[in-house]
Structure 1
Amino acid sequence: MSDYQHPYRDSEFVLSQLVGFDALCEAAGLEGINMELATTVIEEAGKLGSGVLAPLNKDGDHKGATISDQAVQQTPGFSEAYQQMVEGGWLSLNAPEDFGGQGLPKVLGTAVNEIWHSANMAFALCPLLSQGAIEALSHHGSEELKNLFLPKLISGEWTGTMNLTEPDAGSDLAAVKSKAIPEGDAYRISGTKIFITWGDHQMTDNIVHLVLARLPDAPAGVKGISLFVVPKFLLDAEGNTTAERNTAFALSLEHKLGIHGSPTCVMEFEGALGYLVGEPHNGLKYMFTMMNDARQGVGLQGLAISERAYQLARQYARDRLQGTRRDGSRIAIIEHPDVRRMLMSMRSTIEAMRALCLMAAAELDHARLVAGDEAALHMARAELYTPIVKGWCTEMSVELTSLGVQVHGGMGFVEETGAAQYFRDARILPIYEGTTGIQALDFIGRKMLSNKGETLAALLADMQETLEQAREADALPDVALANLETAIQLGATTRIFLLENTASEADLAPTTAVNFMMQFGYLTGAWLLVAGAIKARELLAAGNGDPEFLNAKLITARFFLEHMLPRSLSHASTVLSGSASCMELAADQF
């Protein structure tokens, strides 16, 4: 066993009290799927996470993946752990039933995925990429491609990857140069791809690469990119893996700051046989299906690694004695006010992040599973949440894992305690699947300015309604709720300011985007904690639930509103200051 235990009670609280899991399943016509089942699933996943995956986490960090003769060997123990996940059916939770999946709501799969990433983030990246490949093929693949690849991706017999960027491209996918030459019903793919997570390993008998490339007649820019499926090993007429290797190889592994157990490959495609997904030149559109799924997944990683760091810091603070009382007894540092400040900052923010990640996933469930006129509104809310989930949660993960190191003091800076690994692992999260700046531009541009801020206005209206309910229920002290009221008002102010001024000030949106997104990260987290506080008050009044747990929810919500939410005011002030000082220096003055 490991020192990690999943905080399943908080996941269950969010699912039952904020998401309304039973009502969601009933509206979607999912017979037999309810909170009782969800609780069982989460608890069983927690056993696998703490008992199997977490003990391999340090091995992945210390030993990592290796490469020789263009073949990647995963960390010892990873293959056996992966097979346990396959045998348990864990990789098929959310996948479509038509191809062997269990068809469970995404929000339940999200709660389970938190466990995998808390337990062993480097390992869990492998099934995360497979889930993204399943999403892309499910939505855009032909029936032939779905029948060929989805059943084995869903069962876990094969894994998936996402091959986007190249040495000269970075985040600018318009610069992609990989080529796809038609050959009968298939294509020959050539080019080099970099930063390919789990691009090669020996845990399964095939790997399904989704690759962006250009056809010979492709127009320039992003409109000329197509998406292809390229298997590691060629398939026979029945769709089974053969011994014949496709010409898609891992050339090298990146030497990274963290997530050492996850092989990050440079991939070379040397005329590899591939199959077109959907229509030509629509590859970027199709890949965004996979990327948006992955972006919520990476935001969830920020939550997960922060939870793991918090658990380690909390236990160290309980055990570490420093200082002496008047009677000569030693004092555990968890009694020190500043250590309490750090632990409360971690705990309250983690609870806000968890509520946000699960609510974002639930909005996708409402949009996809519950038919009706409300589907478009739920999808718009889910799309609004996605850059906040990815951007805010990952930025916070760097801060919170750093606090985990700080709680340990000097011992946090040495590798033996494990605190440093979580800090190192977290640092990639604001970078991959679109940097914080890219998420912020998406939030301020596609998700706010493009629809004149209507979706954001609806969110602010919901926040105001919750505030009024909290006051009526006396859920939290007035001083805490006053902070929320101020933050909501400033959210409305910055929204109007940007709508009125971005057209005339070209640099305004890109210079203020990150602050605008972070402002709404803190505000959305606070809103959801207040919604949880209302539910906790109701349960306490009715004598339902664990009073200790419910009272703790009230305390963490109050702390967040008093200590963390004021940061949204600072971000709002920065947005309202405009772009002048940011852009005034000439480039050669830096």
Structure 2
Amino acid sequence: MEGYKAPQRDAMFVTHELLDYQSHYQKLGFDEASEDLVTAIFAEAAKFAENTLAPINASGDEEGCKWEDGVVTTPKGFKEAYATYVEGGWPSMAHPEEVGGQNLPYSLASIIAEWFSAANHSWAMYPGLSQGCMETLKAHGTEEQQNTFLAKLVSGEWTGTMCLTESHCGSDLGMLKCRAEPQEDGSYSLTGTKIFISAGEHDMSENIVHIVLARLPDAPEGTKGISLFVVPKFNVGPDGEKADRNAVHCGSIEHKMGIKASATCVINFDGAKGFLIGEPNRGLNCMFTFMNTARIGTGLEGLAASDAAFQGALRYAKDRIQFRSLTGRKNPDGPADPIIVHPDVRRMLLTQKAFAEGNRALAAYCMQLVDVTLYGTDAAEKQLADAKLALLTPIVKAFLTETAQESTSYGMQVYGGHGFIKEWGMEQLARDTRICTMYEGTTGIQAIDLLGRKIMGSNGELLGVFIKEVAEYCASLRGNAQFSAWTNALASHLDEWQQITMDIGKAAASNPDEIGAASVDYLMYSGYVTVAYFWLKMAVKAQEQLDAGSTEVDYYKSKIQTTGFYFDRLLTRTRSLVSAMQSGSDNLMGMTEAMFAQE
């Protein structure tokens, strides 16, 4: 987006002031990740996002990808930007030194991934898919597979994908038909077609490593019969370099509403050579390593869009003059006042700001938890982090992307008619971001995962773990009159959250449809309450900094003011969500299919 600025100051506030990443890194053994080093990395990442990625965002959208005879060409400047990305060492940040990585924490790489996505969503998807590919190989690949693929992926010379979806099965992976036949040399021959494969074919890297779900000949039906394979575009020779072309080809690319510069491919496997990852028929278990990473990454894309839309709308609202303020002229030397003086424009801007900064705090918290699961040595702490991540991952994926739809829509609305025009970049943000609620599991899928699998499936234990943390924080603020109203509101919502959960569980005991009927409203309710927790924490931290004599008065006061806006105007949205959940499933399921007909 033109004029995009990476939010370095806010990232430092969230990571180092709010969440104390410095102590977190030291505890995990990342002593080299000092505040000075992090600040330097942020500065360089900001330059790359602002000066390399943002300038080719609109042109990439205009030009799009080109497909001809199985070959995909990315827009002008994309390949060169990727080469700069590799030269800068960005792909290797969060990987072990033994495979060529820089041994820096996952969270650090993820924070700057938000900025790359905000500057150029389409471009950021190419290296973004590689991260999950690498994590899957590190967690489940054999030593030989890791030696064959990891170093090239870590360096960025090769990129990776995830190949799940087929035309007849979207999220219902138990229906997939791609088959894998064992070969005498221990490899497998894969045959089938996968669709919607982001970065499945392009001209930016020397090789593409596909992580593929397929069925063995004797596999049981359904999800229990799915295995996982690594299938390179080019086979790899004994020297570790790419060899002959594998039987993997791009049949076409999709023509999409947005992210037009990201190649979304149909990939044909025509007896392609692949290698089994993990145990036979346990592919989904291994794939969750990839999918969970991808879901958090998709949430970051939503966050990125919210922030980019806010930046653009704020700039425009300060410059655009229209009408006079109802409380008196604010720009007496001009023919009208800047539109930022009008209450409804402020409503939109503050909603964008509240979502961008509140969601950033939630995302950074989850990245901290991922660090503990990856690098922690205390078994109890790792188990606790896993439990919290299990609950929060579907919230991060769905809430951050659903609120991004509102933020990008407001980005257009603040511009008025100009928001509908390409030159300003707002309509591209809205188009690009629309996919985020759909891929890596739709909002409905995430909601069922949260309410059905995670909460009901754990008999409420996962919810209890997180609520305990928030309740303890609220208790710690007792006696603090400045924040008592917000603290009491949050504590009240915690009680309600638990009660609603029990009510839905009770209703579902006699009618399982009650879970599906309540699930999306339940997820959004959970998101609003969770982000309220982080806004309260940010307000308290901001006041501490002001009390300590900080000279950044406006910055910290804005945190406190935005907290008030969030609690008064956004957290109160939970009232309608509660009403919808309490209405039950009859108003959804009472209609027969025939009643839907309009003929």
Q: With the length of structure 1 as denominator, give the TM-score of the two structures.
A: 0.97
Amino acid at match of 1:22: Q
Equivalent in the alignment of 1:313: 313
- CA-CA distance at 1:144 after TM superposition: 0.2
- CA-CA distance at 1:468 after TM superposition: 3.6
Distance 1:545 1:446 in 2: 48
- CA-CA distance at 1:474 after TM superposition: 4.1
Mapping 1:232-381, distance limit 5 Å: 232-242=233-243, 244-324=244-324, 329=334, 330-372=336-378, 373-381=380-388
Q: Is the 8 A contact 2:2 2:425 kept in 1?
A: no
What is the percent sequence identity of the aligned residues?
43
- CA-CA distance at 1:568 after TM superposition: 1.8
Of 202-211 and 483-492, more deviation after overlay is shown by 483-492
Amino acid at match of 2:154: I
1:37 matched to 2:37? yes
**1:325-350 deviations in Å (ceiling 9; x for gaps):** 66573211111111011000100111
Amino acid at match of 2:545: L
Q: Is the 8 A contact 1:25 1:33 kept in 2?
A: yes
1:390 matched to 2:397? yes
Stretches of structure 1 that go unaligned for 5 or more consecutive residues are: none
1:580 matched to 2:563? no
- CA-CA distance at 1:223 after TM superposition: 1.2
Mapping 1:352-501, distance limit 5 Å: 352-372=358-378, 373-470=380-477, 472-476=479-483, 478-501=484-507
Q: Secondary structure at the match of 2:256?
A: coil
- Residue of structure 2 aligned with 1:570, choices 560, 573, 576: 576
- CA-CA distance at 1:525 after TM superposition: 0.4
Amino acid at match of 1:202: D
- CA-CA distance at 1:503 after TM superposition: 2.1
Q: Secondary structure at the match of 1:102?
A: coil
Q: Is the 8 A contact 2:486 2:536 kept in 1?
A: no
Distance 2:377 2:453 in 1: 25
Equivalent in the alignment of 1:204: 205
Distance 1:473 1:75 in 2: 55
Distance 1:115 1:416 in 2: 21
Equivalent in the alignment of 1:227: 228
Of 15-24 and 457-466, more deviation after overlay is shown by 457-466
Q: With the length of structure 2 as denominator, give the TM-score of the two structures.
A: 0.96
**1:131-165 deviations in Å (ceiling 9; x for gaps):** 01001111000000001000010110000011101
Q: Is the 8 A contact 1:186 1:273 kept in 2?
A: yes
Distance 1:370 1:34 in 2: 18
**1:401-423 deviations in Å (ceiling 9; x for gaps):** 00111101111112221110000
**1:120-139 deviations in Å (ceiling 9; x for gaps):** 11110111100010011110
Distance 1:231 1:80 in 2: 23
Distance 2:395 2:383 in 1: 19
Amino acid at match of 2:30: L
Mapping 1:520-559, distance limit 5 Å: 520-544=526-550, 546-559=552-565
Of 535-544 and 191-200, more deviation after overlay is shown by 535-544
Distance 1:115 1:502 in 2: 42
Equivalent in the alignment of 1:56: 56
Q: Secondary structure at the match of 1:227?
A: strand
Q: Is the 8 A contact 1:460 1:488 kept in 2?
A: yes
Distance 2:495 2:411 in 1: 33
Q: Secondary structure at the match of 1:331?
A: coil
Amino acid at match of 1:152: K
**1:459-497 deviations in Å (ceiling 9; x for gaps):** 223223333444534454x54444334322321221222
Amino acid at match of 2:319: D
Distance 1:160 1:448, change over 3 A: same
Q: Secondary structure at the match of 2:518?
A: helix
- CA-CA distance at 1:36 after TM superposition: 2.6
Q: Is the 8 A contact 1:483 1:562 kept in 2?
A: no
Distance 1:416 1:550 in 2: 34
Q: Secondary structure at the match of 1:75?
A: coil
Distance 2:2 2:255 in 1: 27
Equivalent in the alignment of 2:190: 189
Distance 2:338 2:475 in 1: 41
Q: Is the 8 A contact 2:306 2:355 kept in 1?
A: no
Distance 1:471 1:317, change over 3 A: farther
Distance 1:557 1:33 in 2: 30
Of 19-28 and 115-124, more deviation after overlay is shown by 19-28
- CA-CA distance at 1:545 after TM superposition: 5.9
Distance 2:129 2:160 in 1: 6
The number of residue pairs the alignment matches comes to 588
- CA-CA distance at 1:227 after TM superposition: 1.0
- CA-CA distance at 1:381 after TM superposition: 0.3
Amino acid at match of 1:431: M
**1:359-390 deviations in Å (ceiling 9; x for gaps):** 11111112222221221011110121100000
Distance 2:34 2:463 in 1: 31
Amino acid at match of 1:337: P
Of 463-472 and 295-304, more deviation after overlay is shown by 463-472
**1:77-129 deviations in Å (ceiling 9; x for gaps):** 00110011111111111123321112222221221111111111111011110
Equivalent in the alignment of 2:90: 90
Distance 1:427 1:286 in 2: 28
Distance 1:563 1:39 in 2: 34
